[in-house]
Amino acid sequence: MSVWGDTKAINGFGLFCVSAAAIFAALRWVFTGKLLSHSEEKYNPVWIVYQLAPPMGAFTLAASLILEDWIHISSYNGFHDMREAAATLSITSAIGGLTTLMLLSEYVLAQITS
């Protein structure tokens, strides 16, 4: 959006995706804030991740299957032999682990400050 004057064009689908991501991020923080501060019992941040991860994963998988070109996944070279598959899965697992730790630290920080 900051380069509007330079391009004179905007991608409507990209704008929709960025806006939806911002809305869902805000919604996640609203639910997290309600769980952490408006209850008589303080919830454990690990429990919150455990409760929110399955719906977020299901929504992401459904959106990915709908919006991305999964028909051409067989042409991807990351699963043709065991070594490439192990490398692909280890990189994906490392990124997923770091993301989980990031979410957990955000929830711990939100719990401490609320």
| Structural contact between residues 96 and 18, judged by C-beta atoms closer than 8 angstroms | no
How much is the pLDDT for 98? 92
How much is the pLDDT for 73? 67
The average pLDDT across 43-58 equals 78
Backbone angles phi, psi at 81, to 5 degrees: -135, 170
The average pLDDT across 29-38 equals 72
Backbone angles phi, psi at 76, to 5 degrees: -75, 135
Q: Indicate the pTM of the whole model.
A: 0.54
How much is the pLDDT for 96? 87
What value does the mean pLDDT of the chain take? 77
Three-state secondary structure readout of 24-88 = HHHHHHHHHHHHHHCCCCCCCHHHHHHHHHHHHHHHHHHHHHHHCCHHHHHHCHHHCCHHHHHHH
Joined tokens for residue 110:
């939100």
Spatial CB neighbours of 78, under 8 Å, sequence gap ≥ 6: 84, 85, 87, 88
> What is residue 5's three-state secondary structure?
helix
Joined tokens for residue 40:
């008589």
The structure tokens 């719990």 sit at 111
93-109 pLDDT, tens digit per residue, is 999 899 888 888 887 77
Higher per-residue pLDDT: 2 or 82: 82
